[in-house]
Amino acid sequence: MLKAPQHQVAGHEAAGVGNLGPLVDGSGSFYKPLQDDKRGSNEVAFYTSLSTNNGIPPHIRRFFPRFYGTQHIEASDGSGLLPHLVLEDLTLGRVNPSIMDIKIGSRTWAPESSEKYIEKCLKKDRESSSLPLGFRISGLQIYRSKELGFWKPGKKAAQKLSTEQVKLVLRRFVSSNTLNDLDLKPDCAFASTVYGGSTGILSQLLELKAWFEDQTIYHLYSCSILVTFEKELALQGKNPGAQIKLIDFAHVYEGRGVIDHNFLGGLCSLIKFISEILTAPSECKIDVSAKADQKNLTD
Amino acid sequence: MLKAPQHQVAGHEAAGVGNLGPLVDGSGSFYKPLQDDKRGSNEVAFYTSLSTNNGIPPHIRRFFPRFYGTQHIEASDGSGLLPHLVLEDLTLGRVNPSIMDIKIGSRTWAPESSEKYIEKCLKKDRESSSLPLGFRISGLQIYRSKELGFWKPGKKAAQKLSTEQVKLVLRRFVSSNTLNDLDLKPDCAFASTVYGGSTGILSQLLELKAWFEDQTIYHLYSCSILVTFEKELALQGKNPGAQIKLIDFAHVYEGRGVIDHNFLGGLCSLIKFISEILTAPSECKIDVSAKADQKNLTD
């Protein structure tokens, strides 16, 4: 029995008009419709390359969703059989996951992209936090409580968060006092169990960083890190299952002997923000109205 | 007695028509004419900020030229007194220095730059190796011998080197067999003494990297790392004085709590290239005609 997944926070995959949307089978597979332009075939090519590449160490391979091939599936609207990527369902077993989809890189386009595509992406990069921060939050949901459900800002709002707002969201993500959307003093109650520790988010990000300092196989443009954990488990003092996964590979290019400095730079920027929360969880800057633009030293 | 410096390899500072050029006094000071638009005042503001900022650790401060203030100097063409930055002369005591001026960052413009400036820089970044590599060689001179002097490609040629050519130049820079400009098999004879070792270039770059992973004070756009050493000393088995210095701060912005992910990414890319030379000095890829463009995985 295929059904729409419960916890999509971002991406092309959201179902809409003329857009089938992804499906899950409830037993571990996630069916992602192939985008019908070149992006679909690019993503299949990436997963195929990844699954046959012996150069990816196991401790890095676990950051990618498992790939089970492609499959044609009957469209629910009866429009026929459509090709899907069959991937690991990253939210299997999750009850009320808090999720952030963080698109990494200050640049979401490859040097060889078409003029038209570059122009489109550059505009988005400049309008979002990608350019100043080296990443942007493409979507998120933060679990609040059984009664209140999730805090889930719109995708556009998430992408345009200012620097200070992004810092705030990264704190709210691991806070217990998120009942009021406008709460401005996140308590970072779960920072040490979710971000910290030997298996926490920061530790995973640092493993990924070490690999990106060295690997010259792939350049990942417009790729996201999906950060998830289960707040209710944290509340019960259990392991909240904090994990990162890389997703969205429609714009992967060969590295050809050069590291992915664009991804790496953005990743280091995210790491710095997370580190700061762990170093000073109580120091929450509240000044969300602060001008987030950079200033020239003489301005 | 002020005179023109002997070893300029790049930059606005080169003397030309209507352009006075920099001067040295032979006893340690380098006089850089203030660019008369905002760039001049920006660079003074940066050096002033740097010299009064207690947050720069000494082992990092040494990577910046010493700053002795500003001074008005009589133009040699009699056009009057002109303001100059008075900086440390980085080539003082050097006899025949090999020099590379490496402009760091895949992006040489700040998010807040004017549309016109962004357009100009983006074009240059895309036409040079900045975009694919995260840095570009803005100029270089490689000492060959007393008879042959320096190999000094034109600035434009240097900037447009392909990925494979940049790798080759980084190898030629530390090779003894550079007599023939077209020589395609650099022997990397001085790689271990110049790039390697506890005080070599790689070690210095790694110290800088660690700082950039953490510092959120400055964002350096269009800033260069100047790499120098004295080949004749290396030939005599002496310490070749390998050093890096950061130069050109006309486009520095406040970091405002964000790391300089653009500089850091490019720096990591350079570090990877240098590391590879040290790991496999004999493995010189000769295929300079190889298509240096990245390819989409399905191309």
3-state helix, strand, coil in chain B (%, to 5): 30, 20, 45
* CB contact at 8 A, B103 and B122: no
3-state secondary structure of B117: helix
Q: Is the dihedral of CA B65, B270, B139, B188 positive or negative?
A: positive
- Angle B193-B197-B198 (CA atoms, 0-180°, nearest 5)? 140
Q: Of A211, A228, A208, which is closest to residue A270 (Cα–Cα)?
A: A208
Among A residues 223-262, those touching chain B with beta carbons less than 8 Å apart: 252-259, 261-262
Q: Of A219, A144, A238, which is closest to residue A186 (Cα–Cα)?
A: A144
Helix (H) or strand (E) holding B59: helix B58-61
What is residue A183's predicted lDDT score, i.e. its pLDDT?
A: 62
Using the predicted structure, report yes or no on whether residue A12 has a pLDDT greater than 80.
Answer: no
Average pLDDT along chain A: 89
- Nearest residue in A to B166, CA atom: A258
**Is B254–A294 a contact, with Cβ atoms under 8 angstroms apart?**
yes
Of the candidates B42, B111, B266, which has its C-beta nearest A126's C-beta? Answer: B111
Helix (H) or strand (E) holding B98: strand B97-104
* CB contact at 8 A, B87 and B67: yes
The residue among B93 and A183 whose pLDDT is bigger is B93
Of the candidates B262, B271, B297, which has its C-beta nearest A45's C-beta? Answer: B297
Residue A223 backbone dihedrals phi, psi, to 5 degrees: -95, 150
Could you tell me the two tokens for B27? 């006893």
Residue B227 to residue B250: CA distance in whole angstroms: 19
Residue ranges for chain B with pLDDT beneath 70: 11-20, 76, 179-184, 283-299
Residue A109 to residue A222: CA distance in whole angstroms: 7
Provide the CA A235 distance to its chain's centre, in angstroms.
24
For residues A8-44, b (16+ Cβ closer than 10 Å) or e, as one string? bbbbebeeeeeebbbbbeeeebbbbbbbeeebbbbbb
**Is A133–B257 a contact, with Cβ atoms under 8 angstroms apart?**
no
Q: Residue B221 has what DSSP assignment?
A: S
- Within chain A, strands assigned E span 23-24, 29-33, 67-74, 81-88, 97-104, 135-145, 149-151, 218-220, 224-230, 243-247, 252-254
**Is A298–B261 a contact, with Cβ atoms under 8 angstroms apart?**
no
Rounded average pLDDT over A149-160: 88
Residue B167 to residue B273: CA distance in whole angstroms: 7
CA distance B255 to chain A (A): 7
This complex has an ipTM of: 0.91
Using the predicted structure, report yes or no on whether residue A293 has a pLDDT greater than 60.
Answer: no
Among B residues 132-191, those touching chain A with beta carbons less than 8 Å apart: 132-134, 163-164, 167
Q: Of A4, A6, A278, A3, which is closest to residue A150 (Cα–Cα)?
A: A6
What is residue B287's predicted lDDT score, i.e. its pLDDT?
A: 44
Helix (H) or strand (E) holding A16: none
**pTM of this structure:** 0.92
Q: With contacts defined as CB-CB under 8 Å, which chain B residues touch A110?
A: 294, 296
Side-chain half-sphere of A133: how many Cα atoms within 13 Å?
24
* CB contact at 8 A, B277 and B170: yes
What is residue A76's predicted lDDT score, i.e. its pLDDT?
A: 66
For residues A81-116, b (16+ Cβ closer than 10 Å) or e, as one string? eebbbbbebbbeebebbbbbbbbbbbbbbbbebeee
Burial of B236 (0-12, 13-18, 19+ CB in 10 A): exposed
Q: Is the dihedral of CA B131, B132, B135, B141 positive or negative?
A: negative
Cβ contacts of residue A281 below 8 Å, gap of 6+?
A171, A188, A191, A192
> Which residue has 């200070």 as its token pair?
A164
What is residue A79's predicted lDDT score, i.e. its pLDDT?
A: 73
**Is A111–B292 a contact, with Cβ atoms under 8 angstroms apart?**
no
Residue B90 to residue B93: CA distance in whole angstroms: 9
Q: Of B210, B182, B205, which is closest to residue B277 (Cα–Cα)?
A: B205
The residue among A17 and A103 whose pLDDT is bigger is A103
CB pairs under 8 A between A and B: 145
Give the number of other Cβ atoms within 10 Å of residue B186's Cβ: 24
Q: Is B123 on the interface with A (CB under 8 A)?
A: no
Beta bridge partners of B136: B103
The residue among B297 and A32 whose pLDDT is bigger is A32
Residue A189 to residue A187: CA distance in whole angstroms: 5
What is residue A8's predicted lDDT score, i.e. its pLDDT?
A: 81
Residue B131 backbone dihedrals phi, psi, to 5 degrees: -65, -55
* CB contact at 8 A, B243 and B228: yes
What is residue A127's predicted lDDT score, i.e. its pLDDT?
A: 92
Residue A274 to residue A281: CA distance in whole angstroms: 10
What is residue A288's predicted lDDT score, i.e. its pLDDT?
A: 41
- Nearest residue in A to B253, CA atom: A296
Residue A198 to residue A208: CA distance in whole angstroms: 14
3-state secondary structure of A64: coil
Residue A97 to residue B274: CA distance in whole angstroms: 43
What is residue A78's predicted lDDT score, i.e. its pLDDT?
A: 74
Provide the CA B80 distance to its chain's centre, in angstroms.
31
The residue among B258, B267, B275, B279 with the most chain A CBs within 10 A of its CB, best to mutate, is: B258
What is residue B13's predicted lDDT score, i.e. its pLDDT?
A: 47
* CB contact at 8 A, B24 and B2: yes
Q: With contacts defined as CB-CB under 8 Å, which chain B residues touch A258?
A: 132-134, 163, 269, 272
**Is B294–A49 a contact, with Cβ atoms under 8 angstroms apart?**
no
Could you tell me the two tokens for A268? 């280091």
Rounded average pLDDT over A257-261: 97
* CB contact at 8 A, A60 and A211: yes
Q: Tell me: the pLDDT tens digits for A39-93? A: 999 999 999 999 999 999 999 999 999 999 999 998 767 778 889 999 999 989 8
